Amino acid sequence: MSTGNDPSSAIVVGAGIGGLTAAVALRRIGWSVTVLERAPIIAEVGAGLTLWPNAVSALDALGLADAVRDRAVRTVSRGNVRTSKGRWLRRSHPDDVRVLAIHRAALHDVLRRALPESTLHTDAEVVSVAEDGKVVCRCSGEEHDLAADLVVAADGVNSAIRRSLWSGDPVFQGRSVWRGVTPSGSVWPVEESLSLGRGEQVGLLPLPDERVYWFVMANADRPNQLSTDERADALRHVEGWHDPIPELVRATPPDQVLHNDVVDIDPVPSFVRDRVVLLGDAAHAMPPDLGQGACQAIEDAVVLAAALAADPDTTAALASYDDQRRARVQPMATAARESVRRTANTNPLTHLAVTLAARLVPPKAWRKATARWSDWTAPPVPQQENKRS
């Protein structure tokens, strides 16, 4: 492992979706990139996600959108809305925003294939990061002193780099979510839908190979309430809900049901500290209510690369990235937190208001509301020759 003071070298900490996208984008503009991942293998853990048009635009700027489309299902999100008993509140409309539904592992694989293996280093724990781009990394029991022109902190909501150089522990939002993907053809076909209960909601999305991604979101009085049988816990929340929700949960292998607390972080005053930049959940983790978490990490990566390509002054480029991203993402994170308060509310009148809105809002107004955050076009990311792998 060698990373020196190359005038355009970067260390990316974290090999999730945001970190890999950042590595792809930086290499595209000619930067040398080293990705450090503390896990022993680089693999995405998760279920499904939706890529809204803004994320697809960002992937298109990197030349990856077609590869992603080949491994996704084109559908809508929040187009079909039902009650917990199955009554339709809204059916999808031709004007609804189209999204790509994809397994996180498939998206992760597309991004990884766009990088040479030499850029990826596993079992690499970052011990410390200095503002000037110096990194101490422990790999296979040995410590390495690294240095780069830029350090990208893409190490997630529990970012050690953010806690070290900024501040901000995750904030529990009083919600838990269970996620799963059914085996191929076990319950099929299934239509995209969002079903609403009082303080609970269930989402269904078709995936390639006749699989279905589902999630169950419910209130929780405290975090870290893990179980030896997460599938059974998810089933308890959807007992009596309309078909095929209970069947989908039962069809999912118990060891493949994921349970996470819904957390976010309070806004940080800047995403940049000298030569260190926050990206993705490390910068602006938000509740999943808007479906924009992964999308915004992808956006971050493309905007960062575009800013660095446009301005040879790295300090000025990072300031531009910071201005652009905080102006866009922080209001979105606030909106996601406000959405949690609405969907978590168990008051019958509040629930009635939510269901009436789904029934009565005209299609054009519905599209405007759901497209609020996805109406974004990526800046160009010029292709330049890589100086070093």
Omega before residue 267 within 30° of 0, cis? no
**What pLDDT, on the 0 to 100 scale, is given for residue 374?**
97
103-137: pLDDT as tens digits:
999 999 999 999 999 999 999 999 999 999 999 99
Where does the pLDDT of residue 385 fall: very low under 50, low under 70, confident under 90, or very high at 90 and above? low
207 has a pLDDT exceeding 60: yes
Count of positions (residues) in the chain: 389
DSSP-derived secondary structure for 188-226? -----EEEEETTEEEEEEEETTTEEEEEEEEE-SSS---
160 has a pLDDT exceeding 60: yes
Whether the predicted model's global pTM rises above the 0.85 cut: yes
CA distance 68 to 114: 12
The CA-based dihedral angle spanning residues 370, 373, 374, 375, taken in that order and rounded to the nearest 10 degrees: 100
In a domain, 256, yes or no: yes
In a domain, 30, yes or no: no
Average pLDDT over residues 55-59: 98
CA distance 186 to 107: 23
236-262: pLDDT as tens digits:
999 999 999 999 999 999 999 999 999
Please report, for the domain that includes residue 241, its CATH number.
3.30.9.30
Phi, psi of 183 (to 5 degrees): -65, 155
Which SS3 state, helix, strand or coil, does residue 263 take? Answer: strand
**What pLDDT, on the 0 to 100 scale, is given for residue 140?**
82
In a domain, 47, yes or no: no
Mean pLDDT of the chain: 95
Average pLDDT over residues 37-50: 88
In a domain, 21, yes or no: no
Average pLDDT over residues 256-281: 97
**What pLDDT, on the 0 to 100 scale, is given for residue 202?**
98
Q: Strands 150-153 and 9-13, how do they pair?
A: parallel
Average pLDDT over residues 188-198: 97
1 has a pLDDT exceeding 60: no
Comparing CA positions, the residue from 320, 316, 322, 301 lying closest to residue 381 is 301
340 has a pLDDT exceeding 70: yes
**What pLDDT, on the 0 to 100 scale, is given for residue 245?**
98
CA distance 55 to 299: 6
CA distance 317 to 26: 13
Q: Which residues have C-beta within 8 Å of that of residue 312, sequence separation ≥ 6?
A: none
Enter the tokens of residue 203: 């989402």
Q: Buried (b) or exposed (e) across 185-211, using 16+ Cβ within 10 A? A: eebeebbbbbbbbbbbbbbbbbbeeeb
In a domain, 1, yes or no: no
Higher pLDDT, 233 or 167: 233
| DSSP element (H, E) containing 381 | none
Q: How many structural domains comprise the chain?
A: 1
The residues facing 94 across adjacent strands are none
In a domain, 196, yes or no: yes
Q: Strands 150-153 and 200-207, how do they pair?
A: unpaired
Q: Which of 36-45, 102-111, 203-212 has the lowest mean pLDDT?
A: 36-45
**What pLDDT, on the 0 to 100 scale, is given for residue 3?**
47
213 has a pLDDT exceeding 60: yes
In a domain, 233, yes or no: yes
43 has a pLDDT exceeding 80: no
Phi, psi of 88 (to 5 degrees): -75, 125
Higher pLDDT, 1 or 19: 19
Where does the pLDDT of residue 386 fall: very low under 50, low under 70, confident under 90, or very high at 90 and above? low
In a domain, 336, yes or no: no
328 has a pLDDT exceeding 60: yes
The boundaries of the domain holding residue 235 are: 172-260
DSSP-derived secondary structure for 78-115? SSSEEETT--EEE---TTSPEEEEEEHHHHHHHHHHTS
